[in-house]
Amino acid sequence: MTAAGAGLVGEALPAEPAVRRRTGVLRTAEVVGALARVAAGVLWLGEGVLKYRAGFGSADILLVAQGTTGNSRVPFFFRPLGALMQAAPGLFGFAIPALEVALGILLVLGLGRVLTTITALGSVATLMLYWSSDQLIAQYPLLTLLSAIVLALPWSGRLGVAWLWARRRGWGMRLRG
C-alpha cells in the first residue's frame, strides 16, 4: 500500500464502526417503532370492532353531539363539528368505526415510512377529536403515546408488509420508505 492509499483507508476506517453503531441504533429504532405501530394498530382495531359488534350508530353519535352542547370542557372549535354530527348522525355512525378499523389495519400492516407517518398523524388527530368532544377512555392516552413513538421514529413503518414485499421481490434492504 502506498502512503496515499493508506491515508484514504485510514480515513475510512474510523467511520466504519460509527456506521455500524448507527445501523444498530437504526435497527433498534425500527423494531421499537414497529412494535409501537403494531400495538397502536391492534388497539385501533379493537376499538373499531367493538363499536361494530355493539351496534354503534347514529344514536351514539347523537349522544356524543348532544353531550358536547353546553359542556364547559368542550372547546369552542368543536361546535361546528358537533353541529355537523347532529345533522348527519348516520354518516358519522358508520364513518367513525370504519376510520378506527382503517387506522388499525394500516398501522398493523406498516406500508412504508410515508404512509405509516400519515396514518400515525391521523391517529393523533382522531384522538384529539375524541378528547375535544370530552370522550376519554383509558386506551386513548396509550394510543396517543404509541402514535407519538411511531411519529418520533421515522422508520417505524419500514418493518412491515412493504419491507416483506421488497425482500420477496429481491430489493432487500434497498427499500427506504
The structural domain count of the chain equals 1
Q: Is residue 87 part of a domain?
A: yes
Q: Is residue 73 part of a domain?
A: yes
Q: What's the average model confidence in pLDDT over 42-69? A: 94
Distance of alpha carbon 128 from the chain centroid: 14
Q: Residues 86, 150: contact at Cβ < 8 Å?
A: no
Confidence of residue 177 (pLDDT cuts 50, 70, 90): very low
Write down the mean pLDDT value for the chain: 83
Q: Is residue 113 part of a domain?
A: yes
C-alpha to C-alpha distances, 12 to 9, 30, 51, 87, nearest whole angstrom: 5, 26, 57, 66
CA 138 – CA 159 distance, rounded (Å): 28
Instruction: Return the DSSP state at 173.
Output: G
Q: Is residue 12 part of a domain?
A: no
Q: Is residue 19 part of a domain?
A: no
Pick the most confident of 42-46, 72-76, 78-82: 42-46
- Quote the pLDDT of residue 11: 41
Give residue 98's domain range: 25-174
- Quote the pLDDT of residue 161: 82
Q: Residues 44, 143: contact at Cβ < 8 Å?
A: yes
Alpha helices in the chain (DSSP H): 3-53, 58-68, 79-87, 89-109, 113-132, 139-152, 161-168
C-alpha to C-alpha distances, 126 to 71, 77, 133, nearest whole angstrom: 20, 15, 11
pLDDT digits (tens, 9 = 90+) for 104-162: 999 999 988 899 999 999 999 999 999 999 888 889 999 999 999 999 998 888 778 87
Q: Is residue 99 part of a domain?
A: yes
Range with the poorest average pLDDT among 61-65, 103-107, 129-133, 165-169: 165-169
